[in-house]
Amino acid sequence: MKVKDVMTRDVIYVELPSTRDVVLEVLKKHRISSVPVLKDGKLVGIVTVKDLLRKVEEDQLALLMTENPVTVTPNDDIRKVVNILLKKQFRRLPVIRRGKLVGFLTVRDIIKKIAEMNIDRPIVDYMCKNVVSVWDGMPLNVAGEIMRLSGSELCPVLDEDARLVGLVDEKIMLTESLIEEFIEKTQFSSSSDVDDVWSWESVRDHVVKFFEISVLRLPREPVRKFMKRPAYVYPQMSVSRCAREMIRNDIDHIPVLDHMDRICGIVKDKGLIRVLVEL
């Protein structure tokens, strides 16, 4: 399998010189969380919502973007890409051909491809056994602190009978009122065009990890008010079916239950894509 078989071909981009407000409008219009940066037709960087939130005082795109990103080509073997993603922290790669940007490849793109395949290997071989869970009656601010300390991006939520009743992830950790407070405090954008749809739907869904924004104060209301409905898989479920469940529930990690419906592990998207290296 080649990169060209998986990548997104219709790539939205911005060009230097430009500003924060221009980038915001592009992200808002196309409902995306990151965009490549070109200069004179050549890729020179990537800018993400995370960059915009981390550098709230900066306006110039050249200073907001991440320079010299790692790239791949359309004919690269997908196993090369998986190895890069497994070794690095980032989750997306620009695809370059003859110096031109021709595509974009993300971990989610790879998971979608796995979901379309018929990989029948059991997910027990790809799950992590260490799982941090929270109680549905726990205040959200306490759950957030647990996630921060444990480095968890998603936690299963248990009721008082220790049954799985929901999921809480980093996207849930930022409520609308908290985002509004953050935008006001940092003057997130000088443009009045940053409307409610952008603020509440796009920023919330793609914002920097909640624990990286220390100025925000999570509410003390119970987790059950914010959690997603439960999603889970079983150890002998196939890799491809697991990928389909992750896509269907719009999550990057999914809990694994044993024969007694107790949590016994968790499958992470980066762990699951490892299967393509082993085929």
Structural domains of the chain, with CATH? 3-116 (3.10.580.10), 123-173+218-278 (3.10.580.10)
Helix (H) or strand (E) holding 263: strand 263-268
- Residue 74 pLDDT > 80, yes or no? yes
In the block, which residue shows the tokens 């993400």?
Answer: 48
Q: Among 12-26, 110-124, 211-225, 265-279, which is the least confidently predicted range?
A: 211-225
Q: How many helices (H) and strands (E) does the chain have?
A: 12, 11
Task: Tell me the pLDDT band of 181, cut-offs 50, 70 and 90.
Answer: low
Task: Give me the pLDDT at residue 229, please.
Answer: 94
Contact, 224 vs 126, CB < 8 A? no
pLDDT single digits (tens) 120-141: 999 999 999 999 999 999 998 8
Angle between helices 239-248 and 107-116 (to 10 degrees): 120
Task: Give me the pLDDT at residue 185, please.
Answer: 52
Q: What percent of the chain has pLDDT over 90?
A: 61
In the block, which residue shows the tokens 């993603």?
Answer: 85
DSSP summary character for residue 225: G
- Residue 48 pLDDT > 50, yes or no? yes
pTM for this predicted structure: 0.79
DSSP string, 193-240: T--HHIIIIIIHHHPSPGGG-TT-----SBGGGTPBPP--B-TTSBHH
Task: Give me the pLDDT at residue 124, please.
Answer: 96
- Residue 145 pLDDT > 70, yes or no? yes
Task: Give me the pLDDT at residue 173, please.
Answer: 62
Task: Tell me the pLDDT band of 47, cut-offs 50, 70 and 90.
Answer: very high
Q: Among 1-5, 78-82, 183-187, which is the least confidently predicted range?
A: 183-187
Q: What is the β-pairing status of strands 134-135 and 154-158?
A: parallel
Query: Strand, helix or coil at 95?
Result: strand
